Structure 1
Amino acid sequence: MASRIAAEASAYLRQHADQPVDWWPYGSAAFASARERDVPVFLSIGYAACHWCHVMAGESFADASTAAYLNEHFVAIKVDREERPDVDNTYMAATQTLTGAGGWPMSVFAFPDGRAFHAGTYFPPVPRSGTPSFMQVLAAVREAWEIRRPELEVQADTLAAHLGSVADGQRAMLSAVLAAPGGSEPRHEALDAALDKLLEIEDPTGGFSPAPKFPPNPALDFLLQFAAGPSPRAPEALSLAGRTLEKMALGALHDLPGGGFSRYCVDGQWRVPHFEKMLYDNAQLLGLYSRFAALTPDPGQRELATRAATGIVTWLCRDMVLPGGAFASSLDADVIEADGSHAEGSCYLFSDEQLAELVPKQWAVLAPLLDGRTLESEIPDQDTAHTLAFAVLPVPSQWLAWDAAVPALLAARSARPQPSRDEKVVAAWNGLAIQGLALAAVLLGDAAALDLAQAAAARLWEGHWDASRSGAPLLRVSYPGSAASGVPGLLEDYAAVALGFQALAVASGEERWQKRAALLLDAALELFILDGLPVESASGDAMLLAARSGRSSIEALDDALPSAVALLCSALLDRAGTLAAAGTGGEDPHGSVERGRVSALLGFVPRLAGRVPHAMGASLAVLARLGAGTGTELVLTGGTTEQRAGARALGMLAGVAQPVGAQQRPAAPDGGLAAYVCRGGVCLAPVSGLAALRGVLLPYLPGA
């Protein structure tokens, strides 16, 4: 049987191309086939780096009898959730509604028009711990389809109506009104309430939840932005963020020898990671650790944060950069051993015996520092392979020993089978990576980071953007050696790439990136704002609309990525600030239209800030930047290269907009630096020293 998905660009789909299942790629043709055959649709949704996707593939989809049954009674569709997050989001909502939980692989059964009626995640090949086998599920769905289809119609309609009401609720939430500019008190109260709630729910081991522990990136973004704001509680926010950032960087979530962070940890101590490495996590963490390294007054934390950030840059350069300069999506959680078996994370594990043999000169110093676990969360014996983690912040002598040991550890690792790489280029994730690299370039003086950012940005612009492509000037995905696929960009893609370009403009001093960011934002406002409110996708997918009773969807809360609403608001606020500060706002010289859009979209934040701040950190970070409704801009003239670099770093830490290009304001009388801090188009008297500028922009934080 010729596979329909063998020629697909998606690595996830191609992983399944040799299976006996007659897989279809997602699209109207697959649903039309189900309609013609009068059979239900089975959607299997996952991604290339997913461990449990590999497990179910080997157990069920590679089994000839299971595949034959699936082919006879269903139309099977394989969906790469990273290519089509709009598909994933819709059916994940259905799965969570039906089962109370979600995850990948996701297994959804639907009518040929797209309405879901049954769903789950991983199903084992035999019944296990109360979970039916996959064959039992298939047989039960087939029986219900043939005997009780009217009941399935009722269930599908009820579920679609519920999902539609959830979409209505999201739109109603986004219709809430934020206090008008000048009425800043509710905003300050919201930020304080969010900080109070995060302090209340902080886990002693770091983060804001028990195991499984994911890096709470958007919440940390809010805390660092709060710490850079005009509140006497700034040190409190910085300390809270620092405790989690430190615990994550010391733990095995952080690949201490090789750089980069895994997706999450299955235990509560950050010691046992699920080893897939995602670009979107590391892109966010790069910016967070760069900012924290520049903000914290603690030298030990600064050293750790700097190493975490530069390690991500090293990992991106070594393992993730593709021909042309863009970044791959992920590294697999599993390693394929010589016998063809899958082993999760095996290339990263060492026993004490192996470590003592590899680094005999450093072992006596490092042994008391290391605190890894086996994959079963057990304290290992000397000859049991375990993860690598630090028990405490290393002192200088331990860092020296560690640096001397790393080359031998990496050499040993490189001789082992390596995880596969998904070479899909996702526009949004690359945009966030460009933003993180720009922050590292400015805040840490990392020239390699700037080079990587510029190369990735050039590849995105050349390969993903085409202004003549009506309705979809930005495409979401591309693959090495080929043009971008026809998958239209989502709101998150336009907003995240705009943010990356805005940060790169500041880091590089090149005005073209701000102009390109403006084009992306203009297109986003045209495509994704309907009746004043945002939508996730502009594609009008008939199956997804049917699954939600005809409603378009948008999610205002954060997930693994910041919400698209927050990304858009952050980029709009930056554009408003650069226009106002540069005096090029045209009919809107103070950026009030853009700020009005931001205020309108963030109206829901104060009501929820004290209840679920961990789910809306990115929006809270924008609210903290918005301040009293005016925002803040930094305009620089004159000065040495070093002075301007220091001033740009302070501006980035404070989250203020910085126009790039020639400015009309005068330099200091001696040609030295003049830094103008402006709010609402009104600028304070210029300051000439970096210490004075830090006092204006970061008034409640001591110098690091």
Structure 2
Amino acid sequence: MFPGRLPQCSAILNVIKKLKIGENYGDVTPKSVPIRLADFTVCNSVIYRLLFTEKELRYSSTIMASAEHKNRLANEKSPYLLQHAHNPVDWYPWGEEAFEKAKSEEKLIFLSVGYSTCHWCHVMEKESFESQSIADVMNEHFVNIKVDREERPDVDEVYMTFVQVSSGGGGWPMSVFLTPDLKPVACGTYFPPEDKWGRPGFKTILLSVAKQWKDDKQKLLNTGTKIVDILRKTTVFDVAMSEALVSGSIPSPECWELCTDQLSKHFEPLYGGFGLAPKFPQPANLLFLLNVYSRDPNAGKANDAKSMILHTLKMMYRGGIHDHIGQGFARYSTDEKWHVPHFEKMLYDQGQLAVVYSKAYLLEKDQLFADTIDDILTYVSRDLSHPEGGFFSAEDADSFPDAEASDKREGAFYVWTYDEITELLSKPIENKPDLLLADVFSYYYNVKENGNVDPSQDPHNELTNKNVLIIKHSVTETAEKFGITVEQLKSELSGAHKILYDARKKRPRPHLDNKIITAWNGLMISGYSHAANVLENADYVKRAIDAANFIKNYLYNSENGTLYRSCYTDKNGSIVQIANPIRGFLDDYAFLIRGLLDLYECSFDPFWLEWAWDLQQTQDEIFWDNGSAGYFTTPPSDDILLRLKDDQDGAEPSGNSVAVHNLLRLGSMLDSSDLTKKAGQVLSSFTSRLTRSPVSMPEMASSLMMYHDSTTQIVITGKSSDPDTEALLSVISDRLIPNHVVLLADDNTSSILYRRSDMIRRIKPINGKATAYVCRRRTCSLPVNTPEELNNLLEQHQQHG
């Protein structure tokens, strides 16, 4: 079987026999086994894979640890790529080495794209990429490339477009076969390892594609060329369209009215949200509706918009998508009730939801919304924060159920059995000796003896007899049922949360993706900045500033003014310096610029406004399409087939949608008609999308609203630390004001405001006191000095805007 290695394999078999006797594996260590560890590499696939159960493999990991096979991904920094560094697959990272190998050996490329907290990516790795027999096929017939979609969204975007066009859907893991010149010829997402249910398995597909390449290589090459031509024609604006786009009219207000109608049709009235299962938070939808309401609260559709917002946010708070014990929100729920989540937690959701709940708090001063803001930011500060200020990307859905488990399970860290709740919350309610805390808690959170998860939401039986906490009864209903006061109930539930949180800390934690992404940090800076304003929380201001400084220190090249996509930490938490960091993408610039504008409006430090302006100039230089207007999502690159423009606001808003907001805000803040004109050009380039299906781009529909209404400038003169100035600023932060910017004219004549804005240079305090001006379309109101006057002025402005 292994020429020259049979004696060593025989010795290893003796070790296996020793391991398989009884349940005590603790005495087997590398030191107690007279075998060279290197020998295990040779015998691994045949002996270990066939004779060891997964549990036994876990206990033998001390023997195998230093002898595991390593592929080229072991030299990468991405947590996702490192997860695959010990696969028997001969993985390459995306780059010239892999491309040259494919060309020189005339092999197809198998491209696998995913991310480190992706549940089905883990499943396919375990079933296929850890399989020696499948790896043998992959290594023989293909050059195999693994890509982290969060690290290289440009690669993901191009080939996901192909997957969606080809199959009508998409997802991760994404599996695409490419010619040596990177043209796609076949694709899919998750594949099971073997044939089942009448569908071919991954090995069958690999062999089939390999045979097609061997038998008729030219046909596949021609197919790839045709596919790229089709993609280019359907996704990239060609030169012939340029004049029509740039000189074309900007979409009319009917677009956002249509968007409101389309969202209303998709609204699910029972549990809130849009559409049925699976159900995502979709912050862009909610922010659009907040803008619809705030621009005219008395309009016919305003109350409908308000109802959709409030109902959705309250039901999300009550649902299992909200981590009631450890705070924060999961990525989505697998059912329409927000009950059973896909348990991974993403930074971009926390940042956007912090903004949504902050604005909703201004819409209706419900303490639940304020508590939810604190809840989200508590989670992010505690679990997703680097000590120097940056934010980590995500936490996994999967984890080990206990320290002795060999298999990870989805949701294991988060769910509870009835017996666990009964044991941990066994104490009686104060002054109610016959009433146990477990009974009250179980009623409130719908804890059931046999679990509360519908089996249809648990295809792998990972949640059998488990409970996902969901608020089934209100605080008032629960208090009345058990004959206690609302205040006592809240206190008891708070105590129960602490007990369960402490118990949960003893469980193995889900994997943390400690990649720090510029774009997502920008979204989180916005979240902290909005929360700082509406809750008047100085700690949140500081946290946003720390994050911005982190990006300045580690993700910004001050020599050429460009951003990097991401940075990484070592095992000690120190930032790792990379020789050739990945260049920033449109989202990195647009999301960070938005974050810096929000940070300016809560700190009024002109440094952040200055940096936002500089980044906008760089963004225009790198990404602007001089032929057709709008921004490409990627910088120029030799290894990307197409430069695309994302035309959908999904889990994250598109870079172009956010860019329009930024251009309008910066244009208004710094008195730049050029930026406002550029915003109009972007809107013109998306006229077709906004006219036919604005519901796919609610963030850009919000931008369109701001463009037509014109941005309102609220200018306060005075020092930010003066009580009179603070009082006027508090009026602004306490109201939901549509399409506005806030500027502080503090006589700092060296700041970018005074250097670039004629209006700021003209505005002065009245009677030596802090003064407020409300301006729009270069016309300002009469100045006012008191909070009451400013409040009345904003009320009138909103009614007659």
Give me the TM-score of the superposition, normalised by structure 2.
Answer: 0.79
Give the secondary-structure state (helix, strand or coil) at the position aligned to 1:95: helix
Displacement of 1:377 after TM fit? 5.3
Distance 1:691 1:654 in 2: 19
Partner in structure 2 of residue 631 of structure 1: 711
Q: Which residue of 2 aligns with 1:445?
A: 536
Residue of structure 2 equivalent to 1:487: 582
Structure with the greater relative contact order (CA < 8 A, sep ≥ 6): 1 or 2? 1
Cα separation, partners in 2 of 1:614 and 1:254, compared to 1, 3 Å: farther
1:196 is aligned, of 241, 246, 261, to 261
Match of 1:536 among 621, 632, 638: 632
Residues 507 and 296 (structure 1 numbering): CA distance in 2 closer, same or farther, change over 3 Å? same
Pairwise CA RMSD: 2.6
- Bigger mean CA offset, 7-16 vs 359-368: 359-368
For the residues of structure 1 that align with 2:176 and 2:327, how far apart are their CA atoms? 36
The equivalences for 1:537-686 within 5 A come to 537-545=633-641, 551-580=642-671, 591-603=672-684, 608-609=689-690, 611-628=692-709, 630-638=710-718, 640=724, 642-650=726-734, 653-662=737-746, 664=761, 665-669=763-767, 671=769, 673-686=770-783
Aligned twin of 1:321? 385
The 5-angstrom pairing of residues 228-627 of structure 1 reads 228-230=294-296, 232-233=298-299, 234-296=302-364, 302-337=366-401, 338-360=404-426, 361=429, 362-371=437-446, 373-374=452-453, 376=455, 384-395=465-476, 396-397=486-487, 398-469=489-560, 473-480=562-569, 481-483=575-577, 486-531=581-626, 533-545=629-641, 551-580=642-671, 591-603=672-684, 608-609=689-690, 611-627=692-708
Give the Å deviation of 1:371. 3.6
Where does 1:677-696 land on structure 2 (aligned, <5 Å)? Answer: 677-690=774-787, 692-696=789-793
- Give the Cα–Cα distance (whole angstroms) in 2 for the partners of residues 604 and 242 of structure 1: 33
The aligned residue for residue 146 of structure 2 is 78
Say if 2:443 and 2:473, in contact at 8 Å, map to a contact too: no
* Number of matched pairs: 673
Counterpart amino acid of 1:637? T
Using the TM superposition, give the Cα deviation of residue 605 of structure 1 relative to its aligned residue in structure 2, in angstroms. Answer: 6.0
Q: Secondary structure at the match of 2:679?
A: helix
Q: Is the 8 Å Cα contact of residues 564 and 582 (structure 2) preserved in structure 1? A: yes
Instruction: Give the structure with higher Rg (CA).
Output: 2
1:125–1:607 CA distance, 2 compared to 1 (3 A)? closer
Q: Deviations over 1:101-148 (max 9, x none)?
A: 211111110001110000001111122334321100100010110112
Provide the C-alpha distance between the structure 1 equivalents of 2:593 and 2:165, rounded to a whole number of angstroms.
34
Query: Partners of 1:113 and 1:499 in 2: how far apart?
Result: 37
Among candidates 110, 116, 126, match of residue 58 of structure 1: 126
Deviation at 1:604, TM superposition (A): 5.7
What is the aligned partner in structure 1 of residue 753 from structure 2? none
Q: Which whole-Å deviations, capped at 9, do the CAs of 1:141-176 have from their partners, x for residues lacking one?
A: 101101122332232122111210122359969937
Q: Which residue of structure 2 aligns with residue 583 of structure 1?
A: none
Q: Which amino acid aligns with 1:612?
A: S
SS of residue paired to 2:443: coil
Whichever residue aligns with residue 490 of structure 1, its letter is F
Distance in 2, matches of 1:203 and 1:643, equals 41
- TM-score, scaled to structure 1: 0.90
Shift in CA distance, 178/455, structure 1 to aligned 2, threshold 3 Å: farther
For residues 493 and 73 of structure 1, the distance between their equivalents in structure 2, rounded to whole angstroms, comes to 37
Alpha-carbon distance between aligned partners in 2 of 1:460 and 1:430, rounded to the nearest angstrom: 8
Query: Secondary structure of 1:152's match?
Result: helix
1:61-210 matched pairs, under 5 angstroms? 61-168=129-236, 175=245, 187-204=252-269, 205-210=271-276
Q: CA deviation at 1:491?
A: 0.9
Q: 1:48 aligns with which of 96, 102, 116?
A: 116
Deviations 1:502-544 (A, max 9, x none): 1111111211011011111010011111215234355433342
Alpha-carbon contact 2:728-2:786 (below 8 Å) kept = no
Partner of 1:588: none
> Distance between the aligned counterparts of 2:787 and 2:696, measured in 1?
35
The CA deviation string for residues 198-227 of structure 1, in whole angstroms up to 9 with x for no partner, is: 112211221111111111111111111222
- Residue 492 of structure 1 deviates from its aligned partner by 0.9
Contact 2:624/2:630, CA 8 A, preserved across alignment: yes
Moved more, 564-573 or 431-440: 564-573
Q: What SS does the corresponding residue of 2:599 show, helix, strand or coil?
A: helix
Task: Provide closer, same or farther for how the CA distance between residues 331 and 258 of structure 1 changes in structure 2, counting only shifts above 3 A.
Answer: same
Q: CA deviation at 1:685?
A: 1.7
SS of equivalent residue, structure 1 residue 559: coil
Task: Write the distance in 2 (CA, Å) between the matches of 1:231 and 1:363.
Answer: 44
**Bigger Cα displacement from structure 2, 687-696 vs 201-210:** 687-696
- State the AA in 1 paired with 2:697: M
| Residue from 104, 107, 119 that aligns with 1:36 | 104
- Report how far residue 239 of structure 1 moved: 2.1
CA distance in 2, matches of 1:437, 1:655: 20
Of 332-341 and 255-264, the range deviating more from structure 2: 332-341
For 1:305, the aligned partner's letter is F
Alpha-carbon distance in 1 for matches of 2:456, 2:786: 52
Displacement of 1:304: 2.1
| Separation in 1, partners of 2:258, 2:792 | 25
Residue by residue, what CA displacement relative to the aligned partner does 1:410-430 show, whole Å, maximum 9, x if unpaired?
A: 111111111010111100000
CA-to-partner distance for each residue in 1:637-683, whole Å, 9 max, x for gaps?
Answer: 24535414413415774341123452553334372x43211112221
Of the structure 1 ranges 42-51 and 555-564, higher mean CA displacement relative to structure 2 is found in 555-564
Structure-2 change in CA distance of 1:108 and 1:593 (3 Å): same
Deviation at 1:2, TM superposition (A): 4.5
Q: Which residue of 1 aligns with 2:36?
A: none
Matches of 1:439 and 1:304, distance apart in 2: 16
Return the alpha-carbon distance in structure 2 between the equivalents of residues 13 and 46 of structure 1: 9
CA distance in 1, matches of 2:612, 2:98: 37
User: Displacement of 1:468 after TM fit?
Assistant: 1.9
Report how far residue 700 of structure 1 moved.
Answer: 9.8
Q: Secondary structure at the match of 1:657?
A: strand
Secondary structure of residue in 2 paired with 1:450: helix
Q: CA deviation at 1:462?
A: 1.1
2:34: which partner in 1?
A: none
Is the contact between residue 154 and residue 634 of structure 2 (CA under 8 Å) also seen in structure 1?
A: no
Cα separation, partners in 2 of 1:161 and 1:444, compared to 1, 3 Å: same
Quote the sequence identity (%). 32
Tell me, what secondary structure is at the counterpart of 2:124?
helix
Shift of 1:615: 1.6
What is the distance in 2 between the residues matched to 1:392 and 1:654?
Answer: 35
CA 1:226–1:328 in structure 2 vs 1: closer, same or farther (change >3 Å)?
same
Contact 1:224–1:291 under 8 Å retained in 2: yes
Residue type at the aligned position of 1:599: G
Residue 608 of structure 1: CA displacement? 4.6
Give the Cα–Cα distance (whole angstroms) in 1 for the partners of residues 654 and 793 of structure 2. Answer: 30
Asked whether the equivalents of residues 350 and 387 of structure 1 are also in contact (C-alpha less than 8 Å), the reply is: yes
The one-letter code matched in structure 2 to 1:516 is: W
- The 2-side partners of 1:553 and 1:615 are apart by 17
Q: 1:45 to 1:125 in 2, by over 3 A?
A: same
Structure 2 equivalent of residue 183 of structure 1? none
Deviations 1:546-595 (A, max 9, x none): xxxxx421113212211100111111111111113xxxxxxxxxx22111
Match of 1:226 among 289, 292, 313: 292
